[in-house]
Amino acid sequence: MRDSLAGIDYRFGDPRLLRAALTHRSAGSGHNERLEFLGDSVLNMIIAMRLYELHPEAQEGDLSRMRARLVRGVTLSEVASSIGLGEQIVLGEGEMKSGGFRRSSILADAFEAMLGAIFLDGGYEACRDVVLDLFDPLIGALPAAEELKDAKTRLQEWLQARGRPLPEYSLQREEGADHAKRFFIVCRLTDDGTLAEETGRSRRKAEQAAAARVLEMLQGSA
C-alpha cells in the first residue's frame, strides 16, 4: 500500500490514512470527508499562525483577508494540482468518466483530507512543515492588504473618507435558465448620480463588479 506522495516530503506510518484521504465519496465507504473536516481546521490554524508571525503590525481584518485568499478553494485546488494530487484520487466510475480528478472542489477537498491524514499520522509539526513548504511562496507573493479588500468594501471606504453617502445597489433584471442565470446590477451614488451596471453569475458577483466599475470611475476623475 502506498505510503507517500511524490509531491510532498512526508512518508506515512499508517498508509491506510493516505488511502482514506485520497478516496472520494463516490468510490464508496471509507472516503475522505471526515479527514477533510479535520484538515480544513488544521490548515486554517497553520496559516493563521504563519501570518500572525510574519505580519506583526497587521490588523485582524487584514490577517483574515490574507488567510481567506490562501485557503479559498481555487488556491487549494491549484496547490493540489501542483503536487499531482488529482491523478492519485480514487473516484467512483461516474466521477471518473466526468473528469472529476480535475474538478476544483474535489481537488481542494482531497488536499485538505491529505493534511488531516498527515496530522493524525505525524502530528501538528509534521503537518505544519508540509503546509509551509507549499504555502510560504504563496504567502510571500500576497498583494498588499488593501488590495485584498473586495470592491464593495473599497468603494465604501473611499466614499466614507470623503464624507459621502454609501452607494445603492439595485437588481435590474435576471436572464437565463436557473443553472446559468445572470444577474444585472446597478451601483449608483445618490449624491451625484454616478452609476454603473455590471453582470455576474450571482447577485453578489454582479454587485462586486458594479462597485469596482464605479470606483474606477471615481479614481479616474479624482
Contact 120, 13 (CB under 8 A): no
CA 22 to chain centre: 20
501538528: which residue's cell?
A: 124
- Transcribe 100-122 into DSSP letters: GGG-HHHHHHHHHHHHHHHHHHH
511562496: which residue's cell?
A: 137
Burial class (CB in 10 A: 0-12, 13-18, 19+), 142: middle
Active site residues: 40, 112
- Transcribe 59-101 into DSSP letters: -HHHHHHHHHHHHSHHHHHHHHHHTT-GGG-B--HHHHHTTGG
Q: How far apart are CA 127 and CA 10, in angstroms?
A: 9
Q: How far apart are CA 30 and CA 21, in angstroms?
A: 9
CA 51 to chain centre: 16
